[in-house]
Structure 1
Amino acid sequence: MSNFTSRSSLLSLALTILAGTAAAETSGVVSALSINDVSLTEGTGGVSTLSFTVAILPAPAVNTQVSFATSAGTANAGSDFTSQAGVLTFTPMTTSQTVNVNLSTDITVEADESFSVTLSSPTNGAVLDDALGIGTILNDDQTTLSIGDVAVDEGDAGVTTMSFLVQMSNPVQGGLGIAFQSADGNNGNATLNATVADNDYSAAVGQISFASGSVAPQFVNIDVNGDNKVEPDQGLRLLLGPAVLPSGVDAADVILPAAANGLIQDDDGTVISVADAAVTEGDAGGVTLDFTVSLSNPSKTPVSVQYQTSAGSAAAGLDYSTSNGTLIIPASAVAATISVPVLSETQVEANEDLSLTLSLPVGGFLGDNVAVGQINNDDTATVTVNAPAVAEGNGGNTALNFQLTLSNPVQGTVALIVDSADGNDANPFNNATLSDNDYLALTSQAVSFGPGSTLANVSVNLVGDLDVEPNQQLRLLLGNLSASGVPAGTVTLASATATGIALNDDGSNLTIADATVVEGTGTNTTLSFALSLSAPSKSPVDVSYQTVAQSADSGTDFVAASGVVTIPANSLNATLNVSVIADNIVESAETMMVQLSNPSGITLLDAEATGTINNDDSTQLRLEDGSAVEPNIGSAPLVLTARLSNPVQGPVTADFQSSDGTATNGLDYTAVSGQVTFPPLATSATITVPMVGDTGTEGSETVIVTLTNVQPAPPDVVLADAVGTGVIMDNDTPLTIPLAGRPALLVLALALFGLALVRLRRF
């Protein structure tokens, strides 16, 4: 029975194999095996499993096996994953199996790592389609760096070290470098910032390093420079980054702090003192008594102190303005000023003093806190005299009032003596004189200023007249100055002479008349303009003049001129001459202008005059004969030239018409008519008659051209020769037949000639 069973089993197995083989051979389908790629986040504790799927398609008809085994890549067996190897069996109709690989978790920051699972040795005709599966272990660890703030005392000299502690939370596989650099503080209040520019610290730049797998702390040192400046505690910054990472490590997994703050604590102080001051009082205001408040050491923050003035021999409100308040000495400054307004005054007096006291300092300590301020008197008095001016009048006397002024009041009386005198201008016409009865003499006149008074007056009487004259000056002479009750030399004369003006109120009107002249053709002529005064002046009258071009041009029609023309004293007239440039050009009458300006002592009633330059030129128009050789065929020009004896400023035109002479229109020439034009200033123009070519022997012939209707008309343009003859010169040779010795030809020629005569008679 057992043998039967055994045999039955073997038979069944054989049949199964045969059936499978037969089925495979019958269908022709081969199962293909493949394994996928997978990835998984590593994790930080326990065990994680990375599962690979092995697939077979199509599903096998019989049990099919395949071997698998893991291999290290960037991930290491044992530390990153657990090695696996084995055989997978696919029963009929099964299409997938799973290979599980356990991962090792940690907290180290590292790059993503990979290993592989390889398929091999498939059975029952299966083939390997994708035999390699890649497993990627995704890093999920991060490390955070931290840095603590630091504070150190500055010191007065040398260097103090500011050490920053840098720590890291998790290690980095392959190690980690971190760049660092110092930076000035960034407080909105600049006085609270330490700066390299102010030598508060020395700039630091470099890199710290953490060994692979290590979290041992690192230190960054910054040198703080000591000084004796008074300043607030000041901050600086330490900046970390960028990180220098091992290959494959994600920068996002290394978290850097923004910055750490370092505080430099000030350990200095300053003493506040005030110095005595002095100032000259001044006369015009705006003077201050300036007290200098100084610090023994500069402060990087403002220092303040209270102040108050106190009267001495100087009185508050009379000699100075009371001052009190708070003085602020700016950061980094070593001094500031307290300005006490000094009240300027005009009294001559002794020097005066006041005091200034400091109190309640902030940011420093009081040293010398009381100062004396001295106001030095500088008052003097100066006598000045105005320069009066008044119209002299037409009769009687008019007072010319001089006003004497003291620049400052004087405690005592100021006295002086004045006298009148003739003017002393370099131009004698500008001086008022006693000899000309222009004013009445003033002799040894006493003038005085009472105590505290600053004004006095004295008058000189002018004598009125009807003379036209310039404004005239006379003088007031000052001397014998004395002042009582004040020190010698404190009252002085600004000038020993003053000048007054007698204004002329008598008038004369200046006019200029138009002028006319014939131009001329040879020597230049002159336009003479007459200048006239309505009344004579006792002094010469000067007036400026300037020529102005109008239709006449300067340089071609007249000579431009400018300058000054003078009408002599006591005269009514003068002449202004302008040179006219002669020419032979036929032109219309032209004008220019003379303009007057800047008259002296008179009224310019008529400032412009017109000068007219009348033309005296004419021109004669002549048509010259012309000649030309006729062409054998076609046409050729016969040119006749028309000429003007003198140029004309504008165009000149004349009508022309051809007519037969011995030449015949149509046979010898083509008739022409039209208008010939001379452009401005041209003296010649041409008329062209077309000649008709032939080869007949005819001798020279003439055509007549006649000019009419000349514009401009006489007398400007005179038609002196209106007819021109054009000669058409024959260039044809007569036919010559030698008859000597040829009687037959002679007879024939005579016969033809006779026949021609008969035909002519018939016509």
Structure 2
Amino acid sequence: MSNSQENYFSYSLNAPLSEKQESLTASRRFESKVSDSLENLTLSSRITQTEFVNVLKTGDVTINDRDNEEDNLTNTRLNFKRVDLPGGDNTILALSTSSGTLQFSSTTFSVNENGTLVQPITINRVGGSVGAITVPVQLRNPAGTATPGTDYTNNFPITVSFANGETSKTVSIPIVQDSLVEFNETINIQLGTPTGGATLGTQTTATYTILDDDPSIFSNFSSITINDVGAASLYPSSINVSGLTGLITKVTVTLRNMSHSFPDDVDILLVGPNGQKTLLMSDAGGEGDINGVNLTFNQTAAASLSDLGQISTGIYKPTDFVTGDTFAAPAPAGPYSANLEVFNNTNPNGTWRLYVVDDTIGDDGIIAGGWQLGIQTQPIINTPSISINDIRITEGNIETKNATFTVTLSGASNSNITVMYGTANGTALAGSDYTNTSGTLTFTPGQTSKTVSVPIIGDKTVEPSETFFVNLTSPTNATIADATGQGTIFNNDTTIQFSRPSFTSTEGGSPTTVTITRLGRLADPSTVQYYISNGTAIAGQDFTPTSLTTVTFNAGEKNKTISLSPINDTLAEPTEFAFLQLKYPTNGRLGSQNVALWNIRDNDSSTNIAGTTNLISQSSEPLLASYEPLNVLDNIATSANFFV
């Protein structure tokens, strides 16, 4: 006797995935086949067990697999991707086996010289994330303006590892801080050959910019005489700043060789080129003489000036002990803060002004060496936004035409920008009204416009206008301002309606010709039925009762006519009316003018009538609940409001 066991595994979904569903249950069927042999007789049995796991539309999920031999549970990560089936009615989740494509998220990245990241180097893994992979980051030739070992640690190549399922990694390059005032410097990098089955995408090179954080120094060496009371002799003392790029990140101010017999009297105000202002010192230092000190004001300094203690050379926070200081024009009016960060994120270029006053009589001084500005900036990083427009298109018959959407950036970028797009059903359905379309748009530096084309499927089916959508998702280096473009498909097939809203007959007169017209496609035959229902004119008294009557349009025919004659009687009565109604079209649909008024003018007398009449239909057909005649002219109602 022998015994053996085989294990079988399969994965499936419990239902198609609709547009609005966020997740489904995937089932894993574990089936064991057990065989027993006894004296040449084989007995087999199957044991089936189903396990379930929640699966998002797109993403990874970890499930438990059984080892084939020992039936132990092990963790297995499955990567699912969304797949739309032809016809647009069903969506499935399919296993993705791709290791993915690797590329930089941008063409440029940046870091401050002190190591603070501005735009970290980012590598994206797209199109799949199955398995562990690596990719080296290497120096390009030329390597850039930064010097290895002096400006950064040369640890290239840098191996970047992605675990199974990881889709994004950042890369660190150690930066060397120095005290030199220098231009921003660059490191040129590239991606090498990846492992694990991954491939390289389009953006395989980038530039890493080291932003110098040593301040640019601007000086005015003219001495500032602090008079016994009031404004100083240079009021203001000015420094013109030019040639800086980006926005301010830090401002420092140094007063050189300052002396005063009672520093508590001195108030100093700094005003930037954009109008921001801050006190540097006010009511500090008490009565202790200062002689030839150098005072540097830095918002990140460890200490402020002393209120009453001796002031000595050093680095201090801006200090104000008493509020309510005033400065004579042309200095700007208060109130004033004591905070150098008011200048951050403003343009540094322009004229900076230093206003110095002594607010109490009896003491004077001088800033003999003038003053200097230290300004740090960083580049302006603009993140554009992405929008998509709405479009309208007329449906074809049997041909296919493209609905073209335009995707735009709010402004040009110096980085590659990508965004994913995909269609979604509205009242229009993928597979029957349009072809499901998806993909990724890439804006290279300087580009601001891209198009998405969606094939529209023409037909001869008469239907109302329909809508579908193109959705934008997953942007890189940009935000999304308008994520959805609506496409409206206008039907160009046949509509059938009366040529006019009203027709008029006279008792005893010639028959009235009523025209029924076709609009749109005329290449095929169509039919429509009409009937006459009571208004104030009554079937059998004012006109001959009519059952549903068919009107046939041959291919190419636009108009058909019917003749109507009222019953001639001898009663003196006002002009009356009945309703002409179209029903049940074939190979076409009813247009907006599918009901018309038939006015019957009396030939016995003339009576003016206008007003409102409430009706209950005497016809076997569903008819009107109310009627409100309008525009009665010469006893003839030329239009009406009515409600079916």
Larger proportion of helix? 1
TM-score normalised over the length of structure 2? 0.33
TM-score normalised over the length of structure 1? 0.29
Structure (1 or 2) with the larger CA radius of gyration: 1
